[in-house]
Structure 1
Amino acid sequence: MTDDLNYEQARDELAEVVARLEAGGLSLEDSLGLWERGEALAKLCERHLAGARERVESALASVESE
């Protein structure tokens, strides 16, 4: 499952998935499985980054309103 990974864990695993896919030599089934895992990890990273962006924007807005 991906949801229990923090951003750094998801990013690092995604990098490993990409490296394995780029290295080649995998069966089609293994490649598809890795691709699907990579897609899930990329979406999780995007959610983490969106949350961080919201926190920064909220913090900036509160500073500006003071």
Structure 2
Amino acid sequence: MTTDTPVNELSFEAAMNELEKVVGQLENGQVPLEESITLYQRGAELKKHCEAKLKAAEEKVAQITLDGDGNPTGLKAAEGL
């Protein structure tokens, strides 16, 4: 079962949880064809959303600079992004 919440409003964790449920329903094979198509479309949107959230998190982590003691000192412009 999927939620009615727009994908772009879901947190990463909520989107992953829903994506896992969608995949489970599709793998089960007990869903009618039309519902399978709708589930597949929702799953594709969820996957794209999760990938975007992960990329944004990776970019933030890449921007953290550390001082000589290994403590975060702030953010710098990400190089090559």
* 1:50 and 2:44 are equivalent in the alignment: no
Which residue of structure 2 aligns with residue 10 of structure 1? 15
Give, in angstroms, the shift of residue 6 of structure 1.
0.4
Alignment length, in residue pairs? Answer: 63
Structure possessing the higher radius of gyration over alpha carbons: 2
Q: CA deviation at 1:63?
A: 2.2
Segments of structure 1 that go 5 or more residues without pairing to the other structure are none
Residue 27 of structure 1 deviates from its aligned partner by: 1.3
Gaps (5+ residues) in structure 2?
1-5, 68-72, 74-81
Q: Following TM superposition, where does structure 1 have runs of at least 4 consecutive aligned residues deviating by more than 6 angstroms?
A: none
Instruction: Quote the sequence identity (%).
Output: 38
Equivalent position amino acid for 2:7 in 1: T
CA shift at 1:16, angstroms?
0.2
Return the structure number with greater relative CO, CA threshold 8 A, min gap 6: 1
Letter in 2 for 1:35: Y
Q: Judging by fraction of residues, say which structure has more strand.
A: 2
CA distance in 2, matches of 1:30, 1:40: 15
Give the TM-score normalised by the residue count of structure 1.
0.89
Q: Does 1:63 align with 2:66?
A: yes
TM-score, normalization: structure 2?
A: 0.73
More helix by share: 1
